[in-house]
Structure formats: structure tokens, C-alpha cells
Structure 1
């Protein structure tokens, strides 16, 4: 059965009954504001402003309990914007108090702020009421905070992403250094990050230092640092390129120190990246879902770790379409009357999950026979553009991931091709 978003919307509305108090909270770093409405949108009580600390949380709890008692309501649903990281502690605390917590899209809050007063004004008090109205109308998403090993995996993959950004930045700075101070270096070493190149850059990075050395001296200098080193012919080419270099010999000591600093950072980040990936792989061994997901040929362990870090427990999802919407890979178009807009992915979701799903499909198209066959079918038989085929296969992968975890099965290649081509 195909997943229909309208059915999910109806179910979210039906969950809110006449026994509910719907609370909207405008999140801030220090002072937050809460307002309450009934399932019909009638505001209850006065707004509650509270600090983002334990005293403020107890004030919020007391306010909610008093509203429940006054209006004889036994159920509470709390909605909030996932603003930065300020909402996380409050969300965890509310869950501990047995409240149902949901989130609303900040873009939707901005779009709905004129519903009550037909005014573009914005304030914390107004936003809290807008959020409450959105929740009672079903414009919310269930809160899926990762717990246990999924939370640990999410922290590891977040740290990995941070290290990778720094790693790329350092690589670019080393490229810049070489382009300025030794532009001919790439003619000798196609890959500056190989072992011999890194040793060379530490021993004599500047052309002015290489000019006065013989190939034999360079070759001998490599020996204490490497068991397997480049041949003496490499040393000859290195000297020749240094003699022909157009680089200027300006402030050599400062320039060398700059490179050594970059190389130290590069090696440190390389070590950190390896440690994080190894820890993530070790942690995945303790997650039962990971073993089943790794039976899919063509997906690496780090890719699966990235997907699980973003989605949490995949068995909580009823359909792969929910994973696509979480990633912002669901389709949308802008059409009106005779105008037919282009169908594009919305990108309204987690960019990290979107990246890992996209990269996973790229690898599957190359390394997985079934996905390669489907990609060929979509591009050759159905005449789809390659990028459209990749996005379609992202949906296929999402359904496979959810199906494997919910049914506690392993990857079945026959189901992949047969069901997709028949459709």
C-alpha cells in the first residue's frame, strides 16, 4: 500500500481530542513563552513566561497542571520549534514528565503568523500562539529524539562531520601554500598527501633548500623516515623542478613554519577522523538493525552509521516515505492554472540524512547489481534524467531500509528489481 501524506495528516488531527490541552512554546536561549489552546483553538488562561532552567521548568509544569485542573483536561500535547539547540533540554524534560512533545517547522510558523490578526508583526507571545494553533490543526511532526546507542552514534557522526569540514579546510590551505611557494611541486608528486611527499615537505619544503642538495642527499634524508621510499629518480626530478621554480624566496623561516603548522593540523585531523570512524563502527556492532542493513551489497559501514545517526530506530517508521520527508527528498511542484511547474525535491528536512541517502545510492548504482539494473531501466527504458533516477532510487532505498528493519529480514535482491520494474 502506498503511503499517502493526507492520511498521516488526518491521523495527526484525530489524535487531538476534546480532552486535550495544546501548548505552543516559543523557544529562546534564556526566556521562553508558552500559550495553551483547546482542540478548537480557544485560548486557555494567561501566557506563561519561564526561564530556561530548573526553576523555569517547574513554573511551566505548575502552569500546565493548573490549566488541566481548571478546565478538566487529562491530556497535554506540547509543540515547539526545533530552534538551534536551545529546545533539546526542554524537550527531554517534558518527555520525562510524560507529556507528548511534537515539533513544528519554523518555515510554517512564519507562513501562519497572520492567521489570527492579519498582521505581519512578530513577537514571542504571538509565535507561541501560532505554534499552538498549528499543532491543533495537525501541522506538526512526531518527536523522534535518538536514545541510547543511537544518541551515541549521532554524537560520533556529528563530531566526524565537524572534523571533515576542518580536514577539507586544511587540505585547501596546503594546496594554497604549494601554489604560492612551490607551484611546480605537483609535477613530482601527483598526490601531495602520500608518505614520501609528507616527509619531503617537512624536511625541505622550499625550492631554495632543494637547489643546493644533490639527489643522493635527498634520497638519504628519506631513509630514516620510511621503509619504502621513492626512487632516486624522484629526487632528481624534485631537484630539477626546484631549480626551475618561479617561487619567490621571501621570509623562508616564517613560510616554513606556516607549512609545518598546517601539516601538524592535517596529521592530527587524520588521526581523529580514523578514531571516530573506528568507534562508530564498533558501536554499530551493538545495534541489531545495523547487522541487517549491512547485508545490502554496496553500502559501507560509515554510510549506514550516518543514516542511523540521523533517523534513529528505523523500526519506528511505518513507511520509507517518512524517511524521505525527514530528509527533504520528497517531491513538490509549483503549478497554477495552465502553468505547470517543475517537480523538485523540497529540501525541507535534515541535510545530513539527505547527503547520506544520496551518497548511498551513488555507491549502490556502481556496486549493487540490482540498483545498477534499476538505474539502467529508468534512464534507458523510461528515458529519465540521471539525477531524477538517483532521486527515485533514494526513495527505493528508504523503503528497503524501513522494510528490512520492521520485518527483521535481510536484503532480498529478487524483491528489489521485480517489484520496481513491475511498478
Structure 2
């Protein structure tokens, strides 16, 4: 939730609060009028028909009670709310979001269980909105929406790459623990090059100290050379890593290297589109 998102102050006395507890396959809705008149929480689903029924139900309730404004409120949530956001953004209504910590505090104060109970949550969300603890929900459109999606995709890709790098380091440690100590960071170009091409002590020894030093010097652009290569060769000769089952380890290492390279290419592609997208966003 952005700190720059405008906070919703006291609601219009003619506003209907529609609180929604978001779920994966189903949502729970709840209506409350300013005078406290409400209806029991009810379920609706991620379909056009169900969304339409939900919207018309809210409109009828507002009309019956002479309410001119409808405020839809949600907890800050993940992707499960996206289809509903997309549907409601085109409706003559206000969308607001609340911090889940506020609902937890309200539950604590009222003696309601802070554990997940879908049918109770919409009422608590309505309480938080009524107290003015809500932020206007800003749903980006056009180039801004595209940039947001690209940014989210980049974050997911980097998370996958980081997980693969951590797994790769664990495997290298098993078969060649000294390599991890000498090279430190597996994500550097030089370390990654060696893991890709010479992932075992035997392959480093077969390459030899001179060829290894030349390769490291070339990849690191002169920053790493004979001293580090000599340390790696010495470590490879006296390696305490696991020998049995090494082929299986090497097969998985090869897979992880390919996965990391794929994520690197994808991040580069995303960042290129992000740079282009930034030029399209009005400031």
C-alpha cells in the first residue's frame, strides 16, 4: 500500500459501505447503510454473472435506503482481487483499500477472533472503513498499467533467479566446498562461468592452471587471474567434496545454470520494455 495514496476521510452520510472479503474461488460481500442497517454476509464468485448480480444487489440496496454513493472496500490483497477490481473500476462507485493490520486490531478490540473466518471479515472491513482508516484504491490504466505489470513480472523473475542461485550454491558446496569459499559470490560473471563450464574439481584440474587463469582474467576483465586460479587448482587437488552420486549433482547444476540464464534473459527483456514504458507514462 503506497504512502502517497490519498486517505479517505469521513464518509458521505449518504454513502453505502460495501465491504468485500477476497478469496481465491469465492468472495464474501456485506452491505451497511449509515444508520447501521445491513444484510448478512453473502458469497459471490469470479464470473460475469455473479459480478453483475453483486453490482445490481448493491445498487438496489442503495436505492432502497436513499443512498447516493457506493463505497467498495477491500483489504490490501494479492492477485485474487484483480478480476473484481477490473470489473468495478468502470462502475460509478468509489474503491478503497484497508490495511490488514487495521482489521486485526478491530478484531482484537471487539473480541472477534483474529483468525481467518470469511463470514465475519466483511463486517470488520466495514468497521475500519467507517472509522476512516481507508485509502483510495488507485487502479492504473494504459501505459501505467503496463509498466506496473512489467515491474511485477521482473520482481517474480528475480525471486526465481535468487532461489535458483541459492540452490546452485548448495549443490556446489556439496561437491566442491572450497570453490564457494574461494569465489564467495556465485552470481558474479567469473564464478558463474566456471560453474557452467567446469562445475567439478576434476574438470578444473583437466583445464589446468594456465588455461584457468587466462579464462578467469578474460571473464573478469583483468580483475581476477593467476592468484585465484592457483588457489582453485590447489583446492581441487585436495577437495573434500562428495564424489558418490556426482553425476546427479552435475545434471542438476546444469539445469539450474540454464534456468538462471533464462531468467537473466527475461529480466533484460522486461527492463528494456520498462525503459520504453517509462517514456509513455505522463508525469
Which TM-score bucket, shorter chain as reference?
0.7 to 0.9
SS of residue in 2 equivalent to 1:267: helix
Instruction: Give the alignment's TM-score, normalised by structure 1.
Output: 0.55
- Say whether the 8 Å CA contact 1:103–1:143 is kept in structure 2: yes
**CA shift in 2, pair 1:276/1:23, >3 Å:** same
- Say whether the 8 Å CA contact 1:48–1:63 is kept in structure 2: no
Query: Where in structure 2 are the equivalents of 1:301-316 lying within 5 Å?
Result: none
CA distance in 1, matches of 2:122, 2:93: 17
For this pair of structures, how many residues does the alignment match? 275
Q: Are positions 1:134 and 2:128 aligned together?
A: yes
CA distance in 1, matches of 2:118, 2:185: 54
Query: Where in structure 2 are the equivalents of 1:31-180 lying within 5 Å?
Result: 31-43=26-38, 48-113=42-107, 120=113, 123-180=117-174
Q: Deviation at 1:284?
A: 1.0
- Say whether the 8 Å CA contact 2:27–2:45 is kept in structure 1: yes
- Say whether the 8 Å CA contact 1:24–1:36 is kept in structure 2: yes
Q: Are positions 1:207 and 2:201 aligned together?
A: yes
Aligned to 2:235: 241
Correspondence for 2:18 among 20, 23, 33:
23
Q: Deviation at 1:189?
A: 4.8
**CA shift in 2, pair 1:124/1:174, >3 Å:** closer
Query: Where in structure 2 are the equivalents of 1:381-420 lying within 5 Å?
Result: none
- Say whether the 8 Å CA contact 1:213–1:239 is kept in structure 2: no
**CA shift in 2, pair 1:82/1:250, >3 Å:** same
User: Bigger CA drift: 203-212 or 232-241?
Assistant: 232-241
Unpaired runs of at least 5, structure 2: 1-5
Aligned to 1:265: 259
| RMSD (Å) for aligned C-alpha atoms | 3.6
Q: Deviation at 1:216?
A: 5.7
Q: Are positions 1:287 and 2:277 aligned together?
A: no
- Say whether the 8 Å CA contact 2:16–2:69 is kept in structure 1: yes
- Say whether the 8 Å CA contact 1:37–1:133 is kept in structure 2: no
Q: Deviation at 1:191?
A: 5.7
Q: Deviation at 1:80?
A: 2.4
Q: Deviation at 1:161?
A: 1.4
State the Cα deviation string for residues 157-182 of structure 1 (Å, max 9, x = none): 11111122222222222322332222
Higher relative contact order (CA 8 A, sep 6+): 2
- Say whether the 8 Å CA contact 1:170–1:266 is kept in structure 2: yes
- Say whether the 8 Å CA contact 2:16–2:70 is kept in structure 1: yes
Q: Deviation at 1:238?
A: 4.3
Unpaired runs of at least 5, structure 1: 1-7, 290-423
- Say whether the 8 Å CA contact 2:175–2:246 is kept in structure 1: no
CA distance in 2, matches of 1:189, 1:37: 62
CA distance in 2, matches of 1:131, 1:98: 21
State the Cα deviation string for residues 338-376 of structure 1 (Å, max 9, x = none): xxxxxxxxxxxxxxxxxxxxxxxxxxxxxxxxxxxxxxx
